[in-house]
Structure 1
Amino acid sequence: MERNLTHIALFAALIAVLGLVPKIDLVAVPITAQSLGIMLCGTVLGAKRGALAVLLFLALVALGLPLLAGGRGGLGVFVGPSAGYLVGFPLGAFVAGWIVEKWSAPIGIAALAGAFAGGIVVVTLCGIAGMALVLGKTLPEATLLALPFLAGDLLKVAICAALTRGLARLRPEALLSRA
């Protein structure tokens, strides 16, 4: 139990640290490195622990800690243009972890598939819905706003898969999604 709590807290901190990477403001929602942390939560910690790490991170943001990219925090971010992405973060981590846990493919392939499905498909669909709702856009218009994220997200999927595979080789016991 203690080990699980430690891992959950460490991965919540990882997401926060990835918020220190400079953000790029191309659309209403900033492009950040934090989605890589969301993917890693799932592929390394597994579905439940990964989602819990993200929920811990979001709870700290809701309390006002400036942990989102650009030093944002507080309840206001949950009603802004990025609200859908924030809702999608724990769901994306869960899906990524679930795929890695359930699929017996080699870890690199499973992590690639999990990070893509959870980190891009789930998070992006939630983000598009959120932008449409908050910005008063149609779903096609919000989808166009989300397109600039795709290239960076694909790169993050590849990095996530490589890091997860490397961790599995160096310290197999640390990969809780396959424990």
Structure 2
Amino acid sequence: MTLALPVPRGALRFASLAVLGSWLLAASAQVTLPMWPVPATLQSMAVLLLGAAGGPALGVAAVGAYLAQGIAGLPFFAGGVAGPGVLAGPTAGYLLGFLLAAWVAGFARGLVWWRQGLVLLGAHLLLFAPGVAWLAGFVGLERAVQAGFVVFIPGTLVKTAAALALLRALKR
């Protein structure tokens, strides 16, 4: 006789999609352009897609699973870095900002394309707030704004547009 708790089918599907999303985010973290003190990656684009395609709850769950796996020691963070020490480093604010960005991007679901674009851009820009705030503790506010936000503006626009295009293509 086995004692098993019934798992609602929807819960199993949700958890599976969250784990798959976390792996997509981990893969996107390995596409890096070395910069200091924060590398440029495809993570923010993946975060936007996870939120917008799956909704706020699934987007946040996928990012949460990604963070948990990376903190637990899987080489999921940019450049294959792992462990809880990442949350003490200069990129921690951006990693936590992914949760907020995924949640906001989730509200792009079902909107007309231009509204989706505005929501995705807002979500993308929003992740910089905790990122720059945290980074300022390492390099000072002026340098954090320059090295942690301004240099990323062109890439932010390109990745937001790409996320919107992919989202629209997936809808078809």
Report the TM-score range of the alignment, normalised by the length of the smaller protein: 0.7 to 0.9
Kindly provide the amino acid, as one letter, of the partner of residue 121 in structure 2: F
1:35 aligns with 2:37: no
Kindly provide the amino acid, as one letter, of the partner of residue 68 in structure 1: F
Which of residues 26, 35, 38 in structure 2 aligns to 1:26?
35
> Where in structure 2 are there 5+ consecutive unaligned residues?
1-9
- Give the CA deviation at 1:154: 1.1
- Give the CA deviation at 1:148: 1.3
1:96 aligns with 2:101: no
Which structure has the larger Rg?
A: 2
What is the alpha-carbon distance in structure 2 between the residues aligned to residue 80 and residue 28 of structure 1? 10
The count of corresponding residues between Structure 1 and Structure 2 is 161
Kindly provide the amino acid, as one letter, of the partner of residue 132 in structure 1: A
Give the structure-2-normalised TM-score.
Answer: 0.88
Kindly indicate whether the alpha-carbon contact (under 8 Å) linking 1:109 and 1:161 is maintained by their aligned counterparts in 2: no
Kindly indicate whether the alpha-carbon contact (under 8 Å) linking 1:19 and 1:32 is maintained by their aligned counterparts in 2: yes
Kindly indicate whether the alpha-carbon contact (under 8 Å) linking 1:43 and 1:114 is maintained by their aligned counterparts in 2: no
Kindly provide the amino acid, as one letter, of the partner of residue 20 in structure 2: L
SS of 2:64's equivalent?
A: helix
- Give the CA deviation at 1:136: 4.5
Which of residues 128, 131, 148 in structure 1 aligns to 2:135?
131
Per the alignment, residue 112 of structure 1 pairs with 117
Question: What are the residue-to-residue correspondences of 1:26-105 with 2, within 5 Å?
Answer: 26-98=35-107, 100-101=108-109, 105=111
What is the alpha-carbon distance in structure 1 between the residues aligned to residue 66 and residue 116 of structure 2? 22
Per the alignment, residue 145 of structure 1 pairs with 147
Deviations 1:18-69 (A, max 9, x none): 1232x12222011111111111111101111101100000000110111112
Kindly indicate whether the alpha-carbon contact (under 8 Å) linking 1:39 and 1:92 is maintained by their aligned counterparts in 2: yes
> Where in structure 1 are there 5+ consecutive unaligned residues?
170-179
Kindly provide the amino acid, as one letter, of the partner of residue 81 in structure 1: P
Percent identical among aligned pairs is: 34
Give the structure-1-normalised TM-score.
Answer: 0.84
Per the alignment, residue 160 of structure 2 pairs with 157
Kindly indicate whether the alpha-carbon contact (under 8 Å) linking 1:38 and 1:54 is maintained by their aligned counterparts in 2: yes
Kindly indicate whether the alpha-carbon contact (under 8 Å) linking 1:43 and 1:96 is maintained by their aligned counterparts in 2: yes
Kindly provide the amino acid, as one letter, of the partner of residue 115 in structure 1: L
Give the ranges of 4+ consecutive aligned residues of structure 1 lying more than 6 Å apart after TM superposition. Answer: none
